[in-house]
Structure 1
Amino acid sequence: MESSNSTDSRSDGAELQRILLVTGLSGAGKSTTLGVLEDLGWETIDNFPVRLLERLVTNPDQQSDTVRGPLAIGFDSRTRGFVPADIIAQLKDLTGRDDLSVSFMFIDCADAELERRYNETRRRHPMTQGRPLLDGIGAERELLEPLRRWADIVVDTSNLSANDLQNHVRDLFEKRDDGAMTLTVSSFGFARGMPPLADLVFDMRFLDNPHWVEGLRELTGQDAPVGEHVQKDPAFAAAFDQIHDLLLTLLPRYQAQGKSYVHVAFGCTGGRHRSVFTAERMAQGLRDAGFSPTVRHRNLGSRAADEIERGKRQGN
């Protein structure tokens, strides 16, 4: 949602109050989302009675000259007065007001993942009522479907860890006063899953694997001997230069299109050697070109396991 990082204003120049309504399937991540928004300076209210929504939002005639901060309101199927059709009608009325900037966010998740989460935490789903868990999840999904269709922001957390979701919410709503694009360069291991929120992914498994070199296995791509080994691969220099040139072409165009956040990810098998070195080297190259990337290494703290690498030598 690109507009979430911009300042909305009325035609007379007055700043609009930002209202974000957050709902979704139970266990999908609504509470985590509201927690991040609170950290970002939003005033947050969870499980708010939806019928009182219009009363909560100050009438424009009663406003002071002080600009009000952004407000995030969470509600779900447990909330008193939860009738999707009535909620949508209220939101349409709020959207029509010229003093508000209203957005609606739906947190979704696959049934199987919700079932795993509930079984793991042993929490009771609010709509089971003595029936099997998946039946309760299905009933809630059917109830919420009109709201999902109406939402202008939908986040699917099926493949997101809590940390992934937190980072994604920050990407959507963290305000940048300078208007600059936020660039993240990361490394990851394919054996531990693809990064679900990356915009550009580059597979570095074509390079010779330091895991199989005596003395390098326990090191990482941040250690000089590993970097030297990766750079000696005949394919590295040409591939790196082409990726670097591609990024220098794409990143300014992303920024020109108003994209506030770009995540470039480099992967290898375990996420500790080739991808780490390439990400560090690329981040430095982008800094030299005038960008200010943040570097993240998702699997750097994971020990390289022989069972992950074994059998993958061919083509890696």
Structure 2
Amino acid sequence: MNEIDGDGAQVTTGGAAEAAEAIPELVIISGMSGAGRSQAAKCLEDLGWFVVDNLPPALIPTMVDLGARSQGNVARIAVVVDVRGRRFFDNLRESLADLDAKGVRRRVLFLEASDDTLVRRFESSRRPHPLQGDGRIVDGIAKERELLGELRGDADLVIDTSSLNVHELRAKMDAQFAGDEEPELRATVMSFGFKYGLPVDADLVADCRFLPNPHWVPELRPFTGLNDEVATYVFNQPGAKDFLDRYAELLHIIAAGYRREGKRYVTIAVGCTGGKHRSVAMSERLAARLSADGVETVVVHRDMGRE
């Protein structure tokens, strides 16, 4: 709250807890090149963290200050740092001391992997190690491991990715940083017409052409599946409600599996002949079921406006 001091100047007062709530939580991601820093950052981004890649350590306190001014819009920040910048450790130590003085809740995540694993990854990507110079990949790895030894010892969390695939790494990140909330799944339910082709980005495809087509009912033909009369016609057909119920049950099982496997986005395509009546009505009802099941859902009617 704002008050006026004896000299007439405006000052800001407030409890320590109130001030602490405005300071974002911070995770510093570092570790060996090729050990999965970028993948770990993507995991945090999917969990709702504000992620900054390759930030010079000296700028970390500035980033936290900017987050504190966001009125709660940036509550969790993750920064990815590496040793390519000069004075890396001096800057990092100064930044960490500054953050501690401000009462910032911060953790250091260190990603590592065995030399054999790192060599294999660099060879498969056909990229040089950032520290190898004119030497071999193993020379760069050795130099980086020596430089990062102290940081690894001070890290709050060390994850060895030598035997992890991307899904297993994501599961570890979820366990450490998702909090009490279950990892979020976002779904796009897309109606389409088979005569215009399958959506190329569909993960799952459902076919509503087993239902009678409202196109052949003259009074319904001009409308779409968003119309109440069309939707009523569709769901009064034998099998329509059963299909919705069974498919929603199936998606409940699939959604739980996607969450376990770290999949955050799914596109469910629902098709009929022209993408105007049956698929539109079914997509709307299906999206409502998914939303009720805790899945963040958007609906897209790809072909509804086509003739």
Provide TM-score, normalisation by structure 1.
0.49
Q: Is the 8 A contact 2:58 2:94 kept in 1?
A: no
Deviation at 1:106, TM superposition (A): 0.7
Q: Which residue of 2 aligns with 1:143?
A: 147
Q: Which residue of 2 aligns with 1:156?
A: 160
1:17 counterpart (24, 38, 42): 24
1:31 and 2:38 are equivalent in the alignment: yes
1:91 and 2:96 are equivalent in the alignment: yes
Partners in 2 of 1:293 and 1:32 — Cα distance?
20
The structure number with the bigger radius of gyration is 2
Q: Is the 8 A contact 1:22 1:75 kept in 2?
A: yes
Which aligned pairs between 1:1-316 and structure 2 lie closer than 5 A?
11=17, 14-15=20-21, 16-58=23-65, 63=69, 65-66=71-72, 68-78=74-84, 80-98=85-103, 100-177=104-181
Q: Report % sequence identity.
A: 32
Deviation at 1:83, TM superposition (A): 1.8
Code of the aligned partner of 2:78: A
Deviation at 1:134, TM superposition (A): 0.8
Partners in 2 of 1:45 and 1:105 — Cα distance?
14
Deviation at 1:14, TM superposition (A): 4.7
| CA deviation vs aligned residue, 1:218-269 (integer Å, no higher than 9, x gap) | xxxxxxxxxxxxxxxxxxxxxxxxxxxxxxxxxxxxxxxxxxxxxxxxxxxx
Deviation at 1:108, TM superposition (A): 0.9
Number of residue equivalences: 173
Partners in 1 of 2:43 and 2:158 — Cα distance?
16
CA distance change for structure 1 residues 136 and 42 in 2, over 3 Å: closer, same or farther?
A: same
SS at match of 2:106: strand
Code of the aligned partner of 2:164: L
Q: Which residue of 2 aligns with 1:205?
A: none
Code of the aligned partner of 2:91: D
SS at match of 1:154: strand
Q: Is the 8 A contact 2:28 2:79 kept in 1?
A: yes
- RMSD after superposition: 2.9
Code of the aligned partner of 1:143: L
| CA deviation vs aligned residue, 1:165-204 (integer Å, no higher than 9, x gap) | 11111111112259xxxxxxxxxxxxxxxxxxxxxxxxxx
Partners in 1 of 2:79 and 2:39 — Cα distance?
13
Provide TM-score, normalisation by structure 2.
0.51
Q: Is the 8 A contact 2:171 2:260 kept in 1?
A: no
Code of the aligned partner of 2:119: E
CA distance change for structure 1 residues 150 and 14 in 2, over 3 Å: closer, same or farther?
A: closer
Partners in 1 of 2:137 and 2:120 — Cα distance?
10
SS at match of 1:57: helix
Partners in 2 of 1:158 and 1:64 — Cα distance?
38
CA distance change for structure 1 residues 57 and 156 in 2, over 3 Å: closer, same or farther?
A: same
| CA deviation vs aligned residue, 1:59-78 (integer Å, no higher than 9, x gap) | 79x73654632000001123
List runs of 5+ in structure 1 lacking aligned partners: 1-8, 179-291, 298-316
Deviation at 1:296, TM superposition (A): 6.7
Code of the aligned partner of 1:75: V
List runs of 5+ in structure 2 lacking aligned partners: 1-14, 183-255, 262-307
| CA deviation vs aligned residue, 1:60-99 (integer Å, no higher than 9, x gap) | 9x73654632000001123x3452233123212212313x
Partners in 2 of 1:82 and 1:29 — Cα distance?
23
Code of the aligned partner of 2:95: Q
SS at match of 1:105: strand
Partners in 2 of 1:167 and 1:71 — Cα distance?
19
Code of the aligned partner of 2:33: S
Partners in 2 of 1:103 and 1:130 — Cα distance?
35
CA distance change for structure 1 residues 86 and 177 in 2, over 3 Å: closer, same or farther?
A: same
Q: Is the 8 A contact 2:43 2:173 kept in 1?
A: yes
Q: Is the 8 A contact 1:19 1:72 kept in 2?
A: yes
Partners in 1 of 2:115 and 2:16 — Cα distance?
41
CA distance change for structure 1 residues 154 and 10 in 2, over 3 Å: closer, same or farther?
A: farther
